[in-house]
Each structure stands twice: as C-alpha cells, then as structure tokens.
Structure 1
Amino acid sequence: MPDQEISTKHIAAVIDIGTIAIRMVIAEVGNKNEIRYLEQLQKPVRFGKDVFKTGRLSNAAMRQGVNILRDFKSVIDGYGIKRVHAIATSAVREAQNRDNFIDQIYVRTGIEVEILEGAEENRLELVAVENALDEKINLEKKNCLIVEVGSGSTEMILMEQGQVSVTRTLTIGSVRLPEQGLAAKGDEDFIQRVLKKSIRDITKNVAREVSMERIDTFIALGGDMRFVSQQLLPDTVDRFTVLEKKEFVGFVSRIGKMTPEEIATQYSLDYGHAESLYPALLFYLNFLNETKAEEIIIPKLSIRDGLLLEIAQLVSGYRRTDVARQVLNSTHHLGAKYMYDKAHAVCVASLALKLYDLLAKDHGMGSRERLLLEVSGILHDIGIYVSPSGHHKHSFYLVDAADIFGLRRTDKNIVANVVRYHRRVPPRETHVPYMSLAKSDRAIVSKLASILRVADALDTAHQQKIRSFTLERSEDAYALWVPKDIGDISLERESLRRKGDMFADVFGAPIDLKQGVSPVD
C-alpha cells in the first residue's frame, strides 16, 4: 500500500507493455533527476507468441492484457497518481489489430497507451545510460556500442567520442528468432540447430555496416543482462556493473547446456523468460565478439527509468542528456555517409534557422519544428550521392529509409518531405507521400520547405558568401538585406527569384534579396 506521508505532487507511474511481460514502476521524481522508487510490478504475457506467428494479438491475449492493466490502474488510483505514461513496444507495435487493443485498454481502464517506435526507444535508452553512468565513465573519450536485445526487437546505438553516429532497430529478438523457426518447422530441435548460425549471420551483417572493430566500450541494456549481473556480481552498489568478458562467456556456456525447464528451476524464472534467456545472451555475446571490448558495462536502468527521467526533467527543468545535439550528430553522420558538402549543408541550415527565428510571429511553430528544419538543411542535398538529376527525390527516399537518432516516424516523414521540396515543384495533390501526411504536418512541411528554399538560394554557388542577413517586412513584401562588401550577389538574387515562389504562397508575400544598409538596422 502507498505511504500516506508521501506527497502526490510529483509521483508518477510508467507502464511498459512488452513482448513477454507488462511492467509498471511507481516513483517519486524530484530535482536533478532524483527518483525514489515506490513500487514495481510485473505480470507475464505471451504477446510475442501471437504476433510473431500470426501477425495479430489473440482475443485471449488482449483480455489478459486488459485485466492486468485494470489491476495496475487500481494501484495507481491508490496513490492518487495523475501523471501516467504507458508505452507499448515491438509486439503490440507490429500487431495488425493493435488499434483495437489500444482502444480496449482505454475504454476499460482509462489508460492511454503510446506505441513507442525504435527511435524513441533509442532516445530513452541513452537518457537512462547517461544517468546510470553518472559521469563515472566518460563516454566522450570512448567509442561505444549500446545494445539492448529485447524479446521482439534489438536496439543499437553507436557513439563515437560521445557523439551518436549510428542507430539501428533490428526486427529480431530473443523470442522472435525462435518463434520464426517454430512457425517454419514446428520443431524445437530445429531452433537449437539454427540459432547460433542465425545470430552469427545477423551480427556479421550489422558489422559490415557499422565499424565494430573501433568499439572499445560495450554497454548492454535489458533485463537479461541485469539478470546476468545479479548472478555474477550481486553486491555491486553502483547503478551499473562492469563484467569481464571471460566471466560472461563462461556463464553463457553454462546456460547453453541447460534446458529451459532447468533454467527456470535453478534461477526461479518463469518459463517464458527461461526459454528466451539463452538466445538473448547469444545475441549479446556475438555483438561483443565483433568489438575489441574486454568487459561489459551493464546499467541497472531500463526504458522505464528513461521514461521516469524524462518526467523528472519536465518537473525540474534539469537535463543531463542533450537529445537535440545527438539528433544533429546522427544527422551529420548520415550526411557523411552520402558524401554531403558539409560546408554548404551547415551554411544552408544556419541561414534557414536565422530566417525561421526572424519569422517566428509569421509561422507560429516551435522548437521541435526548428530542429526538423535544421536536420532538413543538413540533409537536403544527400540525394546527389545517387544522381545530381532529380536529387531532391533521391534525398527523400534516402531520408525516408534512414535511422536518425531521436526522430519518430512522423518527424522523419516531415524531414523527408521538406528535403523533397527544397527545389523544383512545390507540393501537389498528386504527390502521394505528401498527401499521406496529417493536415497539420502538411502545413509544417510547406512552411519549412519554403524557408529552406530561400536559404538554399542564398548559397546557390556553395561558396558561403552570404552568412547572415537582416529581414525587412512591409505589408506586401519581405526583403533580405546583405552587406555590400560581400561582392556581387546577382547569382543568389536570381536563384531566390526562381525558388522564392513557394515562400510567397506560404507567407502571402514575395521575398527579395537586397544589398546595402538595411533600413531596419
């Protein structure tokens, strides 16, 4: 029962609807990311058994899930909690009937569930990791791979000298791989025969894309690795443990010689966890073997802690992890992958942001859209890697197919469309990707793309001649003023004339480029 002396002012509950369990944490959050845990509940489910075989949640599984959440809601009400954040990950995310399940949960419990995408899982994982390490391990001096092998998906974050460079969400996991084998063959022995080869092939494919041999620090998240830590290093008081590679190898070898029944009995695990433990540990071991790390850092925090930390940040205003900076680090890495002109990309993004800020009263958008504009400015020309001809379209599908740290699917859809419309024809009703966006997102794309077109025109020669400007407004026109000492701007003025039509349509007045002393100075 809740402690009656605890203030409910900053008590929060987070719920994680996973592949093999539904978990809830109730905690009191305070200043500087302080979290005091009050209650933790967990109930097993087998959502993965349904979804990874049939693509749907069974009626029985949905009823079980709703009943568990109804019980959790009673506990929440006992604390008088108003701040509840419920998420669902891979199994529910991929279920064809997920909307029905989410609706049943809301109707019968009043709990609103957010379907969490891989990019958001990456973000929450990084928040949790940086908080757990608490500056005791300086990631800015290391090349680090963060891996969480879940039941239905695997999340990876590669950091180089503290900067996020690559993120991946792999649709494989400790439950999914054996389930795919069972669905194909209906044979438990088949899984054991193919398990090691399948995992080895998967990790080798990832290693071809990510320079694993540079990695000197291996961080393993997830309940399976926390279980390993508890078994091998039970007395660690820090919020993370450091495990020698050879100890981990020995433990995996011992687990591999046991049946799920033996694992469940010896370690007091439910059968579902015992069944998926060995595949999960094999994933971690194969990823580890691709690096030069000789030890494993195991934070004692989970994605639920990441959610609580974000709630604490909202309450206190204190942020340890600069998510926006890491979004941009990941963006630049993607640009470099496609050999972007970095000087031009940075210049255009900077000019676009300046115009965005000067037009704040005209466009009515906020910090999220500003970040998406900066990402778009950096990536607008990456399609040239495929072909200069129609490169705006190539930029669209390269962004659309990419993993960018911290960007949700809706965010990435906006960025992809903004880079698509940084040149040539503006959006039309016949353009399916644009028309597939929500009405509000189409408005955002039009505003951001029109600003980006202006910024791109100002550096049309890729010489960074124009680095700043002042904005003059009148009732029927906008003018950008640049100093005379930068030289001839006829090329930039002509480019703006050709590309400024969309700006005039969106903001209701044409925009011109002028040279001299601005009347608004």
Structure 2
Amino acid sequence: MTEKKWAVIDIGSNTIRLVIYAKSHSGSYKEAENIKTVARLNQYLNQENELRTEGITLLIEILQGFKEILAFHKITNIHCVATATVRQSKNQGEIRALVKEQTGFDMNILSEKEEAFFGYYAVSNSTPIDTGITVDMGGGSTEITYFENRKLIHFHSFPFGVVSLKKQFIKSDPVTVQERKRLAEFIQASFEQLPWLRNLQVPVIAIGGSARNIAQIDQTFKKYPLAGIHQYVMSFSDLQKIQMYLGQLTIEQLEKVEGLSKDRADIIIPALEVFVGLCEFSQSYSFMFSKKGLRDGISMKTNMTDEALLTTDQIINDSVAELLIDYGVDRGHASHRAKLAETLFEEIGTYYPCENKKTLSKFVKKGAGLYYLGQYIDDDSSSQHTFYLLANQSINGLLHKDRLKLAYIASFKNKTLLKQYFAPFSDWFTKKEMEDIRMAGAVVKLATALDASKRGIVTKIHFEKTTADTFQLLIFCKGNPFVEQYETEKHIRQLEKVLHKAIQLKFIQSE
C-alpha cells in the first residue's frame, strides 16, 4: 500500500468502530485513531432474524458520522466489514444496499470462517504463542480457533455473544445462581459440539472488548506496575476470582468497578462464564489477552507481502526494528554494537554460568541494539527514559516479564540504578535471574563503549583468563581507537564487579 492513511470500519453486534491506520517512519501501519460507539445492533434483530428499521437507521447514522471523520482526514481507502448481527440478518441484502446508497461504503459481510481467521491471524503474528486457542467474543457471535505451530487447524463460530447471552439468560439484577447455572450448562453443551477442543491444555488467547475489560480489572486488583494489556497473562484462578467477585454485584455496582467500562457492566458476566467454561473444557489454565484482533488481522493481511507465517523471533525482530526507526537510532551503530555484545557475551559465557544462555544471548543482542534509546527524549537521563519507554509499551512477541528484562538490559548504567528499577518487580525475578540481567547489561554497556565513535572500527574481540583473578580482553581495531579506549576503560568496571575479577584491556591496531 502507498497511502499514508487508510481505515477499517468494524460493524459488530455490540460496538461499531472506526480505526484509522497511519504509516509510521518504519513503513508499517500503526493505529492512529480508534473511535467507538455502542450500538447493540443485536437487540434490533426480530424473531424472523431480520434487522428492524430502527437498527438499520442507527447503523446508517453512525456510518454517516464516520464518513465525516474520514472526509476530514482525506481517507479514501476504507475497508468496511460487518460481522455476526448483519451476517445473521435475513435482510442483509437490503442493509448492504442502504449502506451503499446513503454512505457510499461497500460493506463486506464477513463469513464465520473469515471472522475467525482474521482474529487468529492477528494473534499468530503479534504474540509469542506457537500453539493455542483464540476466542473472540463479540455481541452476537463467538469465534474459537485452535492453531498449532502457528497454523490454523480448527475454527468454529457460535451464534451467541455477550449481548445475545445476556438477553437469553439474564433477567435479574444481580444475576441469580439459577441464571448462572443455566448459562453455564448452555455454554458447556455448546463446547461439547467441538470434540477437538476438549483437553487441549494450551494457552487461551482472548480478543475483544470484554476480554480487555477483564484484563484491566485484574491489573487493578493486583496494582499492576506496568502499562499495557497486550500479551497480559492471567492464571485460571485469577479468572475465577474475578468471576466470583463480579457475579455478586448489581449493575449499579459493576458500573463503578475500576477497569470495567460502564457500557459493558451489564454484559461482563456472560463473557466471564464463556471464558471460564472454555478454560475448563480445554483444560487450559493460562489466559492471555491480545489487543490485536479482527481489525489488526485485516490490516496485517492487507499489508504483508510475504505469505509465510512469522516465527516469534521474526515478530520480535520486526518490533525492535520499528523501535529503532521510530526513535531515530543509528541503525548501523545499533547493528555493530549488537554484534559486539553477542560476541562478548559468548566469550564471557565460558567463565560465567548463567541460566538459559541461548535465550539470554538473544536479549543481549536486542538490548545492545536498543541501548539508551531514551536519548531520543533527553541525553542526561537516557537510562531512565530508556527503561520507562521499553517497560511500558507493547512489544509484539514479548510477554510482560520479557519486555521488562529487555528494558533492564537496554537501560543498564550501574548496579545502584538497576536495583531501583528492580524494586517494584522484586517478586518477578529470582536472585540468579537478577544477577544474569546485571551481567547482560554490563556486557551491553561495554559493547556500546567499544563503538563509542560509531565508526565500527572494532573488528574482533577475544576474552581470556590469564590468572585465577584476572581476565584479558583483546580488542582488534582497523583504525585509531582512542575514543573507544577511553570509554571502555571508563566502563569496564561494571563487568569487573559482576565477574569479581580484574579485566586487563589490550587494544591491537591493524594497518
């Protein structure tokens, strides 16, 4: 695509959204605007499964409002898609014609398979989960998929969602035990139709507004110290606790729950019943929220030139590459110091026992590439800004703990500052993990010093043990390394403190 902006209109059964994507410096499309309106179209379906005139009128009024916004932004590339309610409507032909006549939008009514596929596709290209279950619960349908090694294996669309389940099963306020029992039995019977879903024992990745609200409530309960909910993981017991707590509240009380949108207060209970029931039926006890869903799947599918499925490493590498461009990092310098850090880590690894060396090596390489990215904001406090930026923004492919680990390494300055960064997350890491992160940070800091002039003159490094208490670092250069030598001598003590050994530096200059 060559346009600087394009848009997706998502006509759901509960909400209708306009999402505008803008091309970033890296060339990828990022969400620039996300405008939501609650329509509850599902409530306008009559007994003959026709969308009543009131519902069609409401839909067109909303779309006409979106049309004004799109005209303001001068966007002509528009994907207008409709899901369950319009798909289930027997008068969908009439709806499509009226939408075209009164708004000019060509409304594409997604099939059950298409809706399920786009959700799966977004998850498989933005999270580290290779094998799992996706569940996208809207107002009028619920799409479930099972993917293995990132390939879609099974999909199913149930003709029920939060709005229709609430309408069918919940009449009381608060919900009664009998109502919840009937709802749970219905959900169980529905899952029984899918023998491939039973006892899969893989992570459940939930998409959509109800799942987002549940993740936000859990973060509020836990006073979660990080920003962002994409790739946020909850345990099954966390899910059950929220189910029990919210299940006893009135709608008025639910409207005051922190993290729960007021417009979802009356429909959150059916969503929880489905999520808990799904985890129980599939014996899946890891529940993750994905911010990337249907609209992102459409965007990815539209803009990806390579049809091959991405690996987790590719997803992370693409995200890191975007960060380097967005924050104006010199990519040549970043690449060189990443290679130096990787080599140095391998050399030191012979003498330093760390847990999961292969995985930590990847963090060292990425951390070196992103080192002191916070200089973009302020050079004097670049460590603090680097830590905050990386710790508090979503990085596709990295779970929150791993994102934090990357932030520690890329922002490393000294032990004292690292301890300050560790303080709110002391129960997230073992003592050994903290020691390994400190070592990785010291390696990255030293690798950055070895390319201080950004000329890439260090061609080779070799780390060796000379005595019981001393190491030697041989540094081969193809130019005068006076800047690198000064910076390396200044920062070598961070690595010496980690290894509890003296390190002698020897710069060797080639002709």
Question: What is the rounded CA distance, in whole Å, between the counterparts of 1:31 and 1:318 in structure 2?
Answer: 20
Q: Which moved more, 1:69-78 or 1:53-62?
A: 53-62
Q: Which amino acid aligns with 2:61?
A: N
1:40 aligned residue (30, 34, 49): 34
How far is the alpha carbon of 1:152 from its aligned partner? 0.9
Aligned to 2:181: 196
Give the alignment of 1:43-122 within 5 angstroms: 43-51=37-45, 53=47, 55-122=49-116
SS of 1:40's equivalent in the other structure is: strand
Aligned to 2:290: 299
Give the alignment of 1:360-439 within 5 angstroms: none
* 2:139 maps to 1:158: no
How many matched pairs?
304
Aligned to 1:18: 12
Query: Judging changes above 3 Å, is the alpha-carbon distance between structure 1 residues 199 and 148 closer, same or farther for their aligned structure 2 residues?
Result: farther
Cα offsets for 1:95-137 (capped at 9, x unmatched): 222222222221111111111111001110111101220xx33
Question: What is the rounded CA distance, in whole Å, between the counterparts of 2:211 and 2:84 in structure 1?
Answer: 19
Is the CA contact (8 Å cut-off) linking 1:53 and 1:179 kept in structure 2?
Answer: no
Aligned to 2:198: 212
Query: Judging changes above 3 Å, is the alpha-carbon distance between structure 1 residues 67 and 211 closer, same or farther for their aligned structure 2 residues?
Result: closer
Is the CA contact (8 Å cut-off) linking 1:29 and 1:312 kept in structure 2?
Answer: no
Aligned to 1:284: 275
Aligned to 1:275: 266
Question: What is the rounded CA distance, in whole Å, between the counterparts of 1:256 and 1:33 in structure 2?
Answer: 46
Query: Judging changes above 3 Å, is the alpha-carbon distance between structure 1 residues 75 and 8 closer, same or farther for their aligned structure 2 residues?
Result: farther
Aligned to 1:170: 158
Question: What is the rounded CA distance, in whole Å, between the counterparts of 1:33 and 1:246 in structure 2?
Answer: 41
SS of 2:32's equivalent in the other structure is: strand
2:212 aligned residue (226, 241, 244): 226
Question: What is the rounded CA distance, in whole Å, between the counterparts of 1:238 and 1:269 in structure 2?
Answer: 14
Question: What is the rounded CA distance, in whole Å, between the counterparts of 2:19 and 2:25 in structure 1?
Answer: 19
Question: What is the rounded CA distance, in whole Å, between the counterparts of 1:274 and 1:81 in structure 2?
Answer: 34
Question: What is the rounded CA distance, in whole Å, between the counterparts of 1:160 and 1:216 in structure 2?
Answer: 10
How far is the alpha carbon of 1:165 from its aligned partner? 2.4
Cα offsets for 1:53-100 (capped at 9, x unmatched): 552222222212111111111111111112100111111111222222
Aligned to 2:428: none
Aligned to 2:362: none
How far is the alpha carbon of 1:23 from its aligned partner? 0.6
2:168 aligned residue (180, 183, 203): 180
SS of 2:145's equivalent in the other structure is: strand
In the alignment, structure 1 segments of 5+ residues that lack a partner are 1-6, 323-521
Query: Judging changes above 3 Å, is the alpha-carbon distance between structure 1 residues 288 and 153 closer, same or farther for their aligned structure 2 residues?
Result: same
Q: Which amino acid aligns with 2:143?
A: E
Is the CA contact (8 Å cut-off) linking 1:23 and 1:42 kept in structure 2?
Answer: yes
Query: Judging changes above 3 Å, is the alpha-carbon distance between structure 1 residues 116 and 44 closer, same or farther for their aligned structure 2 residues?
Result: same
Query: Judging changes above 3 Å, is the alpha-carbon distance between structure 1 residues 56 and 188 closer, same or farther for their aligned structure 2 residues?
Result: farther
1:241 aligned residue (232, 239, 243): 232
SS of 1:68's equivalent in the other structure is: helix
How far is the alpha carbon of 1:193 from its aligned partner? 2.6
Cα offsets for 1:214-248 (capped at 9, x unmatched): 32222112211111112223634473111122111
| RMSD value, Cα | 2.8
SS of 2:105's equivalent in the other structure is: coil
Q: Which has the higher contact order (CA 8 A, sep 6+)?
A: 1
Question: What is the rounded CA distance, in whole Å, between the counterparts of 1:92 and 1:80 in structure 2?
Answer: 28
Question: What is the rounded CA distance, in whole Å, between the counterparts of 1:271 and 1:49 in structure 2?
Answer: 18
TM-score (norm 1): 0.54
Q: As a proportion of its length, which structure holds more helix?
A: 1
In the alignment, structure 2 segments of 5+ residues that lack a partner are 311-511
Question: What is the rounded CA distance, in whole Å, between the counterparts of 1:305 and 1:63 in structure 2?
Answer: 28
Is the CA contact (8 Å cut-off) linking 1:30 and 1:312 kept in structure 2?
Answer: no
Q: Which amino acid aligns with 1:225?
A: A
Give the % identical residues. Answer: 22
Cα offsets for 1:135-191 (capped at 9, x unmatched): x33x1xx4x221122211111112244443221111122111232347xxx877898
Structure 1 residue runs of 4 or more that deviate by more than 4 Å after TM superposition: 29-33, 186-192, 267-272
* 2:112 maps to 1:124: no
Give the alignment of 1:465-504 within 5 angstroms: none
Question: What is the rounded CA distance, in whole Å, between the counterparts of 1:177 and 1:191 in structure 2?
Answer: 15
SS of 1:132's equivalent in the other structure is: coil
Q: Which amino acid aligns with 1:212?
A: R
TM-score (norm 2): 0.55
How far is the alpha carbon of 1:204 from its aligned partner? 4.4
Query: Judging changes above 3 Å, is the alpha-carbon distance between structure 1 residues 206 and 238 closer, same or farther for their aligned structure 2 residues?
Result: closer
How far is the alpha carbon of 1:319 from its aligned partner? 4.0
